[in-house]
């Protein structure tokens, strides 16, 4: 029998209800008013300054729930359960008409998003193949094609509920299309492992 094998797939971990409603509501109430820094990709997108978990008891509580999932996800990436730490966190407020341009996250290994408010179907997070990728120079893209996991250029994440978490490798390109709905609030973060080791070479991260 024929068998299709997905070689070297990119993992994305989705955790429904990672944060409970009380914590989600507390994060929205406390940080939405602090998200005043402008974003250069859209005038209707603002965010907080970079935050550390110790900056608020709410972030401490969120980090305590996120970190075990980082350990799980890190085992998929590096084949070992090692310590992880949240390097930075920030809250994004996407107002009606706002969008987030395609980007990835530098100086980290795992990035994530916690959805804090309902998300309009048109502004669900979109993940994309790197523009520089390793694809063929020619494409087959027209009305009769059926995109699949091996041919599509983008993947729209499932509709999230408040409290849902996604984790993905920091190099993975992603964006948010224009938001036609109500205010969309998320908490994003970057994380690094305690150390990486390869046959005698070892590097430690963190302060």
pLDDT over 70 for what percent of the chain? 97
> Does residue 110 surpass a pLDDT of 70?
yes
Contacts of 180 (CB under 8 A, 6+ apart): 96, 97, 120, 122, 123
Look at residue 8 and tell me if it is in a domain. Answer: no
Q: How many domains does the chain have?
A: 1
Higher per-residue confidence, 133 vs 159: 159
pTM of the model: 0.93
> Domain holding 186: CATH number?
2.60.120.620
Higher per-residue confidence, 134 vs 122: 122
Which residues, in sequence order, are bridge partners of residue 197? 202
**Dihedral, CA of residue 11, residue 14, residue 15 and residue 16, to nearest 10:** -170
Look at residue 51 and tell me if it is in a domain. Answer: yes
What local confidence, expressed as pLDDT, does residue 151 receive? 87
Give the domain extent around 185: 13-134+145-195
Look at residue 139 and tell me if it is in a domain. Answer: no
pLDDT band at 133 (very low <50, low <70, confident <90, very high): low
The H-or-E segment that residue 126 falls in is strand 126-128
Look at residue 70 and tell me if it is in a domain. Answer: yes
Contacts of 152 (CB under 8 A, 6+ apart): none
Q: Per-residue DSSP letters for 21-46?
A: HHHHHHHHHHHGGG--EEETTEEEEE
Look at residue 2 and tell me if it is in a domain. Answer: no
Look at residue 140 and tell me if it is in a domain. Answer: no
Mean pLDDT of the chain: 94
Look at residue 118 and tell me if it is in a domain. Answer: yes
């Amino acid at each position: 029998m024929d068998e299709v094998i997905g070689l070297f797939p990119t993992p994305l971990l989705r955790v429904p209800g990672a944060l409970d409603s009380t914590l989600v509501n507390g994060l929205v109430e406390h940080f939405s008013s602090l998200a005043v820094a402008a974003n250069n990709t859209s005038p209707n997108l603002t965010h907080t300054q970079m935050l550390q978990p110790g900056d608020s008891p709410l972030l401490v509580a969120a980090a305590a729930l996120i970190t075990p999932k980082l350990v799980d996800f890190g085992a998929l990436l590096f084949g070992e359960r090692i310590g992880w730490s949240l390097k930075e966190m920030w809250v994004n407020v996407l107002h009606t008409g706002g969008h987030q341009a395609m980007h990835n996250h530098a100086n980290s290994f795992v990035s994530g998003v916690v959805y804090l408010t309902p998300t309009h179907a048109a502004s669900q997070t979109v993940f994309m193949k790197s523009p520089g990728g390793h694809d063929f120079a020619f494409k087959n893209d027209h009305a009769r094609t059926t995109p699949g996991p091996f041919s599509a250029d983008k993947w729209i994440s499932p509709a999230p509920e408040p409290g849902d978490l996604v984790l993905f490798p920091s190099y993975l390109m992603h964006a948010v299309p224009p938001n036609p709905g109500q205010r969309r609030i998320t908490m994003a973060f970057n994380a690094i492992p305690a150390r990486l080791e390869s046959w005698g070479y070892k590097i430690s991260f963190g302060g």
